[in-house]
Structure 1
């Protein structure tokens, strides 16, 4: 069940803008033990929610790496999201109307500062393991550098210490699609939906890659009325529009591009040297957003770390699909 923490005080963003108050939506699974040392914190990716059991199937359950019978599993919805935490569709107290496009710019560090507020409010000083994939991995590595003493273990899956030019270019292409929708910018919840659908279709090409599409979207032998790959793209765009909004998507893409663990810390190498947690870095052999070579370089810069790689025909999205392979790596690592 979704829960909320209301931080009824100003929340200053890295940009200098201030949110008058901050609401954080979150889910928990299992119970915090008497020693308060059994927390496993999950940082979610772009359009996911705090409900890990929903968006990361077969990972939450007894005998899995997110095991509520052993661990107190926590996931907080990120700043700017559509799923409960303060974002563009929330009411701006200054105007009495939703922020929409006027929601202030925020960064990955701002997301992590919100996580830290929630952890403190829950009375969690030490976190046994911090787990993050993709944009969730951005948050996880940022938090592990910001508060190295808080974490015992760190799992980074298909992610990076800094947003690469390639990843930023992917995001900009999606933003261009949203901004090409003439309704984007209008003060209504459903503004920019055609642009959002196109952006999602663009993103999916990089999430899945050629192998994933060629495996699952082949046309039948007869002359098709419509290509399966084409209808799949349209369906996925429409599906996101039913559950999300263009303002949050656009804002989180912007936040994605701010990720640089070395900013203000003397560079990436010096920043990563601060990580005290034992770390597992997991790459996906077919990931075109965070290729294995980049994942290996990330692991090489983190003390007390090891690298594992899984194969999936589904590219970056393999972290959502290959739950058995991930479980074989992360369950013994987290349980330690």
Structure 2
């Protein structure tokens, strides 16, 4: 990438933007005076042409160098000594942005179950508000995976020529019944928790543990479990995979909450870039940026064919594939393959 220029220094920062106003949501509901937590890393050039905007997945946060450390950081592919890296916590998530446990300005109490429903388009619109607040006129690269890819695709449609490259990993143009089904079973697990329905922050915590265990079955491929969770001795009970899934459930429940998980999975279900735009093919054809859709060969949640569909219907699309038994989670861990794919993508643009 040719992003060299004179630098205007901007310190690393963890900030929170408060939007004084009303956000009209697709549902017809409104969200008043919302906040978005975000981080910036690196330097903005005087030409302001080196912005890398990252959008996190379902339970991620704005600290992108922590959860994507193999891709973002000093001497990594997206290097804050060369790029100005922005990552915002999605609206509805519980890592600093307005979410169901935030105070409802109408009664000064937490929203809990009264928080309005959100769509990926609503989330993209909130990011657009943040972009304008930050004074960023154009984005060199917009990149996100899974839910982050869905929001990124919506935002790429809105941004039009204001974004040069859109990189969508392990995602889709419209959420499939298969993915919605996985999300619904997870919400059913939360509903089965006897505390769900109570106005307290810990409501649904045990249900969230079960929900995360269900999700893990979709994030990995059976081959990955076979390789890592197989028994080395004869057993009748207490299998390694059982302990692994329980551990993963408890781990998430201790850092997340059922309210945000419920809300964000519903937003994922809502995703349809073609809604009100003549269908997915028509909407994708209206995205002018160079789009790189990256699929995972063994992803059982967001099928590689869904990424291929994106690449085949945008104006300037290309498809690349990660090969990994890790399944859907491969986009978060297969750093060497990702760096090779990204390097090739930019080199092709430069004719090298």
* Pairing 1:174–2:186 present: yes
Name the counterpart of 1:54: 66
Name the counterpart of 1:165: 177
* CA RMSD after TM alignment: 1.4
For 2:324 and 2:155, locate their aligned partners in 1 and report how far apart those are by CA, in whole Å. 28
For 2:67 and 2:138, locate their aligned partners in 1 and report how far apart those are by CA, in whole Å. 26
Instruction: Structure 2: give runs of 5+ residues left out of the alignment.
Output: 1-12
For 2:126 and 2:108, locate their aligned partners in 1 and report how far apart those are by CA, in whole Å. 23
Name the counterpart of 1:134: 146
From 282, 287, 297, the counterpart of 1:285 = 297
Deviation, 1:332, is 4.7
* Pairing 1:255–2:254 present: no
Are 2:310 and 2:317, in contact at CA under 8 Å, matched by a contact in 1? no
For 1:30 and 1:334, locate their aligned partners in 2 and report how far apart those are by CA, in whole Å. 20
For 1:169 and 1:287, locate their aligned partners in 2 and report how far apart those are by CA, in whole Å. 16
For 2:94 and 2:346, locate their aligned partners in 1 and report how far apart those are by CA, in whole Å. 30
From 79, 98, 116, the counterpart of 1:67 = 79
Name the counterpart of 2:341: 329
* Pairing 1:245–2:257 present: yes
Name the counterpart of 1:39: 51
For 2:235 and 2:153, locate their aligned partners in 1 and report how far apart those are by CA, in whole Å. 49
Name the counterpart of 1:99: 111
After TM superposition, the structure 1 stretch with the greater mean CA deviation from structure 2, 224-233 or 203-212, is: 224-233
CA displacement 1:206-247 (0-9 Å, x = unmatched): 001201111111222254762110000100000001100000
Instruction: Structure 1: give runs of 5+ residues left out of the alignment.
Output: none
Listed as ranges, the matches of 1:112-127 within 5 Å are: 112-127=124-139
TM-score normalised by L of structure 1: 0.97
CA displacement 1:271-326 (0-9 Å, x = unmatched): 00111111111110000112222222221111211111111110000111101110
The alignment covers a number of residue pairs equal to 336
* Pairing 1:10–2:30 present: no
Are 1:64 and 1:331, in contact at CA under 8 Å, matched by a contact in 2? no
Name the counterpart of 2:282: 270
Name the counterpart of 1:86: 98
Are 1:59 and 1:327, in contact at CA under 8 Å, matched by a contact in 2? yes
Deviation, 1:46, is 0.3
After TM superposition, the structure 1 stretch with the greater mean CA deviation from structure 2, 289-298 or 89-98, is: 289-298
For 1:40 and 1:331, locate their aligned partners in 2 and report how far apart those are by CA, in whole Å. 15
TM-score normalised by L of structure 2: 0.92
For 2:278 and 2:248, locate their aligned partners in 1 and report how far apart those are by CA, in whole Å. 41
For 1:256 and 1:15, locate their aligned partners in 2 and report how far apart those are by CA, in whole Å. 14
CA displacement 1:166-219 (0-9 Å, x = unmatched): 111111111111111121121111000111000000000000120111111122
* Pairing 1:205–2:217 present: yes
Are 2:142 and 2:165, in contact at CA under 8 Å, matched by a contact in 1? yes
For 1:122 and 1:332, locate their aligned partners in 2 and report how far apart those are by CA, in whole Å. 30
CA displacement 1:85-121 (0-9 Å, x = unmatched): 1000101111111111111111111100110011111
Deviation, 1:126, is 0.5
Are 1:65 and 1:334, in contact at CA under 8 Å, matched by a contact in 2? no
Deviation, 1:63, is 3.8
* Pairing 1:154–2:176 present: no
SS in 2 for 1:69: coil
Are 1:100 and 1:185, in contact at CA under 8 Å, matched by a contact in 2? no
Name the counterpart of 2:6: none
SS in 1 for 2:220: helix
For 1:332 and 1:60, locate their aligned partners in 2 and report how far apart those are by CA, in whole Å. 17
For 1:67 and 1:334, locate their aligned partners in 2 and report how far apart those are by CA, in whole Å. 15
Are 2:169 and 2:295, in contact at CA under 8 Å, matched by a contact in 1? yes
Are 1:107 and 1:258, in contact at CA under 8 Å, matched by a contact in 2? yes
Name the counterpart of 1:298: 310
When residues 306 and 238 of structure 1 are mapped into structure 2, their CA distance, relative to the original with a 3 A threshold, is same
SS in 1 for 2:57: coil
Deviation, 1:2, is 2.4
For 2:346 and 2:55, locate their aligned partners in 1 and report how far apart those are by CA, in whole Å. 15
